[in-house]
Amino acid sequence: MEIGFIGMGIMGRPMALNLLKAGHRVAVYNRTAERCAEVVAAGARQAQSPRDCARGNPVVITMVTDSLDVKEVIFGPQGTAEGASAGTVIIDMSTISPDETRSFARRLKEGGIDFLDAPVSGGDTGAKKGSLTIMVGGERAVFERVKSVFAPLGTRITYMGPSGSGQVTKACNQILCAVNLLGVCEAIALAERAGIDPRTMHQVVTGGAANSWALEQLGARIIAGDYSPGFKVNLIQKDLALVLDAARRLDLPLAGTALATQFFRSCQSHGDGELGTQAMFRALERFGNFQLERKE
């Protein structure tokens, strides 16, 4: 299939490469053109604008930062809506507002263009391996028409319901990521403060009921002192703002999510916003006036 792909960031670049490996013909666009180089070298065509990226392609994927970015690449000057034809399917795999998603879908439908929201979970590792979890909202018939596009990108691909349903599901996912990570950080902090080797504690509890992806992956990175970003603090904060806004509209108290945002905000205020989400542990170190001793 011929596919346009917009957004060559930490997630988008390996996703586009996986589409190429699967035999699809891919055109790519990124505001910073140099970020397209690796994918172009692998055989993609570099588009000059979102409109150019959409022209002639029955499917266009967007993987950008937030709602405003999605709106700009679709409806802005030289946007994909200008280059897309009737029957084109735009698949937004970013994490954005469910309300904005529904608005985009209605607006595109007026021009005969279909829209799916298909946010992902699995981080940069899942993007590279093609093992992402993909949660899809929109018309079922549209999903069925293009679902083969998702196969090189993820291993768990689930249709969730009408437009916006994918984004609501992703909001649930981000709650679990943030609150689970707080538990991971607190467990490592207690082990350190009590004189238990965090590495041994980690080895033990990953074998029991407390185990999770966050504990296995991010817990290990914390103990190793590795704060490189698989997913950045600034981005989880963007996502959690969407979660709390949705909760506010529903009069739903989400105390754990709100608490997690405060620890991430501490990271941001100390200049750690571009680090991985596991940098939450640094906020706990400051809060508890201790530092994890990392043994060689």
C-alpha distances in Å from residue 85, one per residue of 1, 16, 25, 72, 79? 15, 22, 18, 18, 13
Residue with tokens 């609501």: 168
Q: Which residues are catalytic?
A: 170
* Residues 132 and 91: beta-carbon distance below 8 Å: no
